Amino acid sequence: MNLKHFEQYNFRGEPLYILPKPRNGLEKGTVYFRGELIRGFPKIKRILMLKNGIKKYFDGMFGVEEKIDGYNVRMCAVSGEVLVFTRGGFICPFTLSRVREDENVCDFLMSNPDLVLCVEMAGLRNPYVPRDYPVRDIGFFAFDIRRKETNEPLPLLERRKLLSEWDIPQVELLGEFSPSDGEEVMEVVERLNCEGREGIVMKSLDMKVQLKYTTHTTNVENVEYAFRYPFDFGRDFIFSRLIREGF
């Protein structure tokens, strides 16, 4: 394994290699640890015009799942130990301690060492995101399962069935739609907006195409929060959210 572009860190005295930027087909946050490669989570395209975006990117049925406002982590078994990696590739001790309390998740990962469980951590005691999510304490919601070394995703319905069999919490499936159902998808977004939810992620059934769309409430709250601390948030953070709201 060529680690030329990786940065070396240490985890409990062991070398942990993290890719800080996309390189040679590998995603930012890709990790090399104990001789195993754990691919970074790929970026998901964001669309500004919902109906046009759906028609442009989907040519068949797709599922709509809730987009939860939390922080993204990847869980997997490495050398017989369950580990949790942040989006940037670091191992978060707080998240790791919480995940290891869930026997179902640990059993699933130990039984499927070639899989990576992608989840969103959210809740009232979420230390990384200012927005609360209506679950007790802190919990996680799985939204993807990928092959560890290839990053190939499991098909949407296969993944949901597998997680259900293992009784692992997952994001809500809000429906299946066709490219001509833009109005129906917008109705879903409006309902989430009224409930103060973040938005949706639209996914082709084979998971090869994914698009995200955030609600009006989320955009406005993000901008309001950012302007409380105008010198702590970068121009890109504020400008991108103003553009989203403009559309």
Q: What is the pLDDT of residues 14-66, one digit of tens each?
A: 999 999 999 999 999 999 999 999 999 999 998 888 999 999 999 999 999 99
Q: Does domain 7-214 have CATH number 3.30.470.30?
A: yes
Give the Cα separation of 20 and 89 in Å (integer).
Answer: 8
pLDDT in tens, the chain (247 residues): 789 999 999 999 999 999 999 999 999 999 999 999 999 999 999 888 899 999 999 999 999 999 988 889 999 999 999 999 999 999 988 889 888 989 999 999 999 999 999 999 887 666 666 555 555 566 889 999 999 989 999 999 999 999 999 999 999 999 999 999 999 999 999 999 888 888 999 999 999 999 999 886 665 566 556 656 666 666 666 656 656 665 6
Query: Using a CB cutoff of 8 Å and minimum separation of 24, what contacts does 104-108 make?
Result: 104/166, 104/167, 104/168, 105/75, 105/168, 106/82, 107/166, 108/166, 108/168
pTM of the model: 0.86
What are the DSSP calls for 3-60, one per residue?
Answer: -TTPEEEEETTEEEEE-SS-BTTBPTT-EEETTEEEPPPPP-EE-SSHHHHHHHH-SS
SS3 of residue 140 by DSSP: strand
